[in-house]
Amino acid sequence: MQNNIFLNFFFILYNMKKKHFRFLSFISFLIGTFFLLNSKTGIVGAVIGVSNISSGFGSIFGIIFILISLSLLLIQNITSIDYLVEDIHEIIDEQKSKYKANPRFVRGLKEIEKSVDNDKENYYRISGKKEYGLRKNIAKRLKRRKQSLKRRERDFFQIPQHVKHDPETHETTIIDLPDNGLYEYIPMGGKKSKFVELKVIHYTDDKGKKGIEQDFKNKKNIFLQDTHFGAFFVSKPLPERLKLSKARQILGIGKQTFAGKKRPRIPKYELTTKVKVRKERVLVKNSYYNKESGGEITPNEYRKLKEEQKQKYFPVQKYAIAGGISNRDISGGIKARRYQHKDIDKETDKKRHKIEKWKKST
């Protein structure tokens, strides 16, 4: 019987929403405060019609209720990410209702909702101490996603960067923010001018390199736009001999289903070119990355570091260009160079081993 009572109690707790925890916590805190005040003024006895509550009992009950209040606040912030996902869904539902007349905005919300549910599913699928870091990353990303929804709502309509102009049909359509607003990009500042010329670097694999060079030669569109936005570049080459996993992490070219990037790329080649585009199409993101761990910090966080700590980081400026890059945007040619990442020796050894094995077999 007692076991059933406890099971029912925990089941009710598990199914309670965050706002219910807050309400109960608030009520418990008020009751606790009244009991503590009673120890001095007899206010509780006066309110409930009992005059013989001792100050000692008043203090004890007051402390118990305040502890219950704090416990409820802690329970709502348990390691489970259910409440965080619940908050995200509430924001998405609210925005869906508000912008139901704009199918492009709502389509992006559906993509975000899908990636949030996938993250939640993956979070609970992961087990073991070694995978703790993966769960931590998913939780961080979901917190970032919650913050980005408000930013996406603000920027999607107000900033003119997010347009794609078709020169043949002369149609201009709004497209989404970089990675559906998950990562914070800002409009390009500086002098007021219609066009800007940028030196940009794009990292790709063998297949991507051949395709881009062929399309450029045949005067076709190149650097096909990303699923949700446009083309992504960096302003300077990455440091040599980075671990392959870190290079992919920095460039955002891993398997990122949460941002619509289902196929990972290996940064084998560094393609450098100059582009001349309308300034309103360019968004910029400045970050600093740790040379060893690959961890990312913002410029504000970098400025707060001591000089010796700053030596461990290097700056990366990323460009997100709305609508992608076409042949006509390129001023000059495309220079390709093999990127010397840290795992390149292993890669070469694997190829050599395969060739030797094939020779022996023939």
Summarize pLDDT for 254-290 with one digit per residue, the tens: 766 666 666 777 888 999 999 998 888 888 999 999 8
pLDDT of residue 10: 45
| C-alpha separations of 227 from 3, 102, 124, 263 in Å | 52, 19, 27, 11
pLDDT of residue 159: 62
Same domain, 147 and 240: no
Domain boundary pick from 107, 129, 156: 156
Q: What is the DSSP letter of 328?
A: G
pLDDT of residue 9: 45
pLDDT of residue 349: 47
Judge whether 292 lies within some domain. Answer: yes
pLDDT of residue 50: 47
Nearest to 228, CA basis, from 148, 129, 143: 148
Largest CA distance in the chain: 101
Judge whether 357 lies within some domain. Answer: no
Judge whether 43 lies within some domain. Answer: yes
Sequence-distant (≥ 6) Cβ neighbours of residue 285 within 8 angstroms: 178, 183, 184, 185, 186, 317, 318, 320
Q: Is the dihedral of CA 269, 272, 278, 281 positive or negative?
A: positive
pLDDT of residue 11: 45
Same domain, 189 and 303: yes
Other C-beta atoms within 10 Å of 212: how many? 22
pLDDT of residue 7: 45
- Domain containing 19 equals 2-75
Judge whether 52 lies within some domain. Answer: yes
Total residues belonging to the chain: 362
Judge whether 165 lies within some domain. Answer: yes
pLDDT of residue 220: 75
Same domain, 208 and 183: yes
Same domain, 226 and 317: yes
Same domain, 279 and 152: no
- Confirm whether pTM is higher than 0.75: no
What stretches in the chain show pLDDT beneath 70? 1-26, 28-29, 32, 34-58, 61-62, 65, 69-80, 128-130, 158-174, 224-228, 255-262, 342-362
Sequence-distant (≥ 6) Cβ neighbours of residue 315 within 8 angstroms: 286, 287, 288, 302
Please state, in angstroms and rounded to a whole number, the distance separating the CA atoms of residues 343 and 241: 8
Name the domain count of the chain.
3
pLDDT of residue 127: 73
Judge whether 356 lies within some domain. Answer: no
